[in-house]
Structure 1
Amino acid sequence: MFWPFLLPALVVYTIFMIAPTVASFWVSLYSWDGIGEMKWRGLGNFELLWRDEVFHSALWNTFVILVGVGLAVFAFSFALTMVLRDMAGKRFARAVLFFPSIVSPIVLAIFWGFLFQQRGLLDSFLHGVGFSSTPNLLGEHLWLIVCMGMIWMSTGLYVTIIMAGVDQIPPYLYEECELAGASAWQRFRYVTFPLTWDVISTAMVLWTVSSLKIFDFILAFGGTTNDLPPVGVWNTALFVYGKTFGGRAPTYQLGYASASAAVTLIAIIVLVALLRRLNSRDAVQL
């Protein structure tokens, strides 16, 4: 009987995960500020979301993170993996790349903002080499800077994951490819990619879930209103926070925020299910 061993974990999971999720779906059907009377709205909150331009912008930004930033992260991860695979000092380089993944995103965001802000590190360097004026990158190109920061802080983790799969490939396969005159692209296409597919599929699911929940890194680029960044860089997670605790009147809209959180959760479930189905191909066995 395995149930007695699973029961404690199931109880904890139900209390801290399933019950709050169900409660959030229930609250999304009401208009509620968290303290006063709950007023039934049915699907009214979801209808309002359909017409909310800020939510549309947050959805688009979330899509950009999922697809655009994700493609950049995986492209850089594969490129760095191929460079580091046979390089001396591979473990040290991998540790340096992995370091941002274990540092608080708030700390990384503060450093990243200081790097690009006016009179920051980059601005001081450009002035030092002769540029008299530099653009306000955190004002004019804030969303681009935020996306670049997410690529920087995420790449090391996926280099480690992909390299773990690449390290399992026998070296003689690459030697045979070189003897056959295969190019670097052919070695990647016919050897590296197929033999690391199981690792790649797992990494894709991990990125899908984590990218839809990115919050603190963007939040750290706060503006002057309630320490929230401009709505133009909000994703769905920050939209939920902003509608609940401030940044855009009226605030304390727990029902409306719960509706947006429900939409995000449904999107995660659908995307992960699609990925698992698309990635259902069998891994190549050696």
Structure 2
Amino acid sequence: MATTIQHRPRTPGVRAARTARRPPGAGPHERQQRRMFWPFTAPALLAYAVLFLAPVGYAVWTSLYKWDGMGAMQWRGLKNYQQLFDDPVFRTSLVNTLELMAVGGTITFLISFLLTLVLREMKGRLFARSVLFFPSLVNGMVFGIAAGFLFSPSGPVNQALEFLGVTTPPKWLSTTNLFPMVLGTVIWTATGYYTSIIMAAVDQIPPHLYEAAELDGANAFQRFRHVTLPCAWDVISVCAVLWTVSSVKIFELILLFGGSSNRFPPVDSWNTAMYVYAEAFPRATIPRLGVATAAAVVTLLMVTVVTVVLRRVLRREPIEY
């Protein structure tokens, strides 16, 4: 007696249920992506570990010792960090670094936003952007040397002020004015750089968004606030992180504005980068590489914390257009 086997037809509902029960990432495309992940990312991760993680680890290890770079290393533990925060010079350098980061960044981005507002509706804006971007291409040493010539007591700036009737021109390069001069130079050189980046994002915003805002009666500032700023927000947040990282690396301007071949600039103008350099390469004393690397580690931790906070504060839902 033959047995008849009946096959149930596969309905779309059953197929959908089986597809729903399939674990995520179980498809052939996902499996291929997992197989290709390490071959493509391993070289980059290896270069990152060798060029960044290894030096950072070595710096942290060195910061726990007393070392002049030549003799034997003596264990100090966290005493180098305690010595840092007991040092008024380091505290001044840390405050100046935070001032460069916060005050300089705020002024730079406010001017960049104002220039973006003007350049978007300006004829010849490509030429204007090139002119604004040019200072960022010049090495900082050039500005330091030029400032020493322009703002010296007998320099062109003071001579021009005397011609206009100013009998006692400011002492531009004095100890009290040196840090504001550095801050102003940094803002001038960075404004065009970040304006160019933000304008590159603004160029990608569809014109019909601005046309719709104009039809609704929005003025130039309202169009910037409700169209330009939200649509370019991701790029602006990246620029804020870039500024945070670059502001702690300002070194040659401070050294050239107030220093010379045989002396450092006044302590009131130092930032943490200048402090690290002075501790690692002193003029007449023994190098203190443990203290120098401890200062560098503190700076790295500060930048990391500020960057994480910035990313969280500036996080917004992406706008698709």
Q: 1:198 maps to which residue?
A: 234
Pair 1:269 & 2:304 matched: yes
Q: 1:221 maps to which residue?
A: 257
Q: 2:97 maps to which residue?
A: 62
Q: Give the partner amino acid of 1:243.
A: E
Q: Give the partner amino acid of 1:150.
A: V
Q: 1:129 maps to which residue?
A: 164
Q: CA deviation at 1:128?
A: 2.6
Query: Are the equivalent residues in 2 in contact too, given 1:112–1:149 (CA < 8 A)?
Result: no
Equivalent residue runs for 1:147-158 within 5 Å: 147-158=183-194
**What is the TM-score of this pair, normalised by structure 1?**
0.93
What per-residue deviation string (whole Å, max 9, x for no partner) do you get for residues 214-237 of structure 1? 112222213357342111111111
Match 1:184 to one of 220, 226, 229: 220
Q: 1:53 maps to which residue?
A: 88
Pair 1:231 & 2:277 matched: no
Structure 2 unpaired stretches of 5+: 1-35
What per-residue deviation string (whole Å, max 9, x for no partner) do you get for residues 58-78 of structure 1? 111011111000001001111
Q: CA deviation at 1:132?
A: 3.0
Query: Are the equivalent residues in 2 in contact too, given 1:226–1:246 (CA < 8 A)?
Result: no
Q: CA deviation at 1:11?
A: 3.7
Equivalent residue runs for 1:243-262 within 5 Å: 243-246=279-282, 250-262=285-297
Pair 1:211 & 2:272 matched: no
**Stretch deviating more after TM superposition (167-176 or 21-30):** 167-176
Q: Give the partner amino acid of 2:236.
A: I
Q: CA deviation at 1:119?
A: 2.0
Q: 2:70 maps to which residue?
A: 35
Match 2:201 to one of 165, 174, 195: 165
Computed over aligned residues only, the root mean square deviation of the Cα atoms, in angstroms, reads 1.8
SS of 2:319's partner is coil
Q: 2:138 maps to which residue?
A: 103
CA distance in 2, matches of 1:176, 1:263: 49
CA distance in 1, matches of 2:43, 2:141: 34
**What is the TM-score of this pair, normalised by structure 2?**
0.83
Q: 2:26 maps to which residue?
A: none
Query: Are the equivalent residues in 2 in contact too, given 1:100–1:108 (CA < 8 A)?
Result: no
Q: CA deviation at 1:195?
A: 1.0
Structure 1 unpaired stretches of 5+: none
Q: CA deviation at 1:177?
A: 2.2
SS of 1:117's partner is coil
Q: 2:148 maps to which residue?
A: 113
Q: CA deviation at 1:7?
A: 4.1
When Rg is computed on C-alpha atoms for both structures, the one with the higher figure is 2
Q: Give the partner amino acid of 1:80.
A: L
